[in-house]
Amino acid sequence: MIYPLSMHAHGRLRARRPWLVLAGAVLVVAAVATVGFLRPWSAPAATTAPAAVAQSAPLAPAALALPESPRVLVFGDSWVYGSAAIEPTLGFAYVAGADLGWDVVVDGVRGSGYLKPGLDGPAYGERIAALDPTLDPDLVIIEGSINDRRLYPAGYREAVTAAWDALAATYPDAAIVVLGPSPQVLPVQKATARIDRDLAELAGDRGWWYISPVTDGWITDANYATVIDTSELGRNHPSTEGHAYLAERLGKALAAISGETGIVADAPLGGDPLLP
């Protein structure tokens, strides 16, 4: 092969040297790399691992503090209504109000829950929207509900969250205590136990007190026949005696979260919590 020749400055002929071209290209690449190193703004941004998202811990509720003769709204289902008592006004909400010196307002609708409409009114969310905003309670106790157990879990937590948001907005100055569902049969049904756990978690996220008749063993094999009326008329609701017992347990639970040292909530009556 014949390589092209070039004329030297002094007129001598010599062959071109391809290695010089290659060396020049290497120098150009090195220069570009050096400029890129010295100009960090032109380099791609370094990737970093995403920071771990810290899970928020449940808020610690403040001790319950009520004035003398407080106005208390007890809101819930047929247990609040006083079903199966000789008279509805012998239901646990009325009895607790009388025993504890409350100006009590009882709002119970039979068969209702966060998801389920009741016999005498709609579900909790719609009922809360209809509450009198001028009531101005010092304390709201929202109870239940086992009535949601057949509809749970679809939409349950969302319904609870919406109802509680509305309740807090309606009575922003009130203390709110959530009273979980009480078992109408033993052993505790799985859906009731799961509802209890959901409500406990959601209340904890808000810094609200949660009272669990399920976990605290309010109703056990030892007292079931006395507390629950299993007749066709009672339909697994508390008897008159049962309502009085529930009022006593509620009073002791409220005393415990109020920091009162003279009264302590009872330990579970049957030992371990009754969970399925």
Task: Give yes or no for a contact between 217 and 270, defined as CB atoms under 8 angstroms apart.
Answer: yes
d(CA 122, CA 44): 59
Q: Can you tell me the mean pLDDT for 218-222?
A: 98
Does residue 60 lie within any of the structural domains? no
Supply the DSSP symbol for 200: H
What pLDDT score does 265 carry? 37
Pair 9, 144 in one domain: no
Give the pTM: 0.75
Pair 14, 142 in one domain: no
Does residue 244 lie within any of the structural domains? yes
Pair 151, 30 in one domain: no
What pLDDT score does 60 carry? 82
List the structure tokens of 154. 């679809």
Q: Can you tell me the mean pLDDT for 85-97?
A: 98
Within 102-155, residue ranges assigned H as helices are 124-129
Does residue 24 lie within any of the structural domains? yes
Question: Which residues share a beta bridge with 106?
Answer: 74
Does residue 275 lie within any of the structural domains? no
Residue pLDDT, tens place only, 97-133: 999 999 999 999 999 999 999 999 999 999 999 999 9
Q: How distant is the alpha carbon of residue 95 from its chain centre?
A: 29
* Structural domain total, the chain: 2
Pair 21, 111 in one domain: no
What pLDDT score does 58 carry? 66
Does residue 57 lie within any of the structural domains? no
What pLDDT score does 267 carry? 35
Q: Which domain holds residue 102?
A: 71-257
Residue pLDDT, tens place only, 8-26: 333 333 334 443 333 444 3
What pLDDT score does 1 carry? 38
Pair 132, 221 in one domain: yes
Task: Give yes or no for a contact between 227 and 241, defined as CB atoms under 8 angstroms apart.
Answer: yes
Residue pLDDT, tens place only, 230-275: 999 999 999 999 999 999 999 999 999 998 744 333 333 333 333 3
Residue pLDDT, tens place only, 33-87: 433 433 433 344 444 444 444 455 667 899 999 999 999 999 999 999 999 999 9
Does residue 25 lie within any of the structural domains? yes
Greater pLDDT, 207 or 39: 207
Q: How many CA atoms lie within 13 A of 84 on its CB side?
A: 25
d(CA 267, CA 265): 7
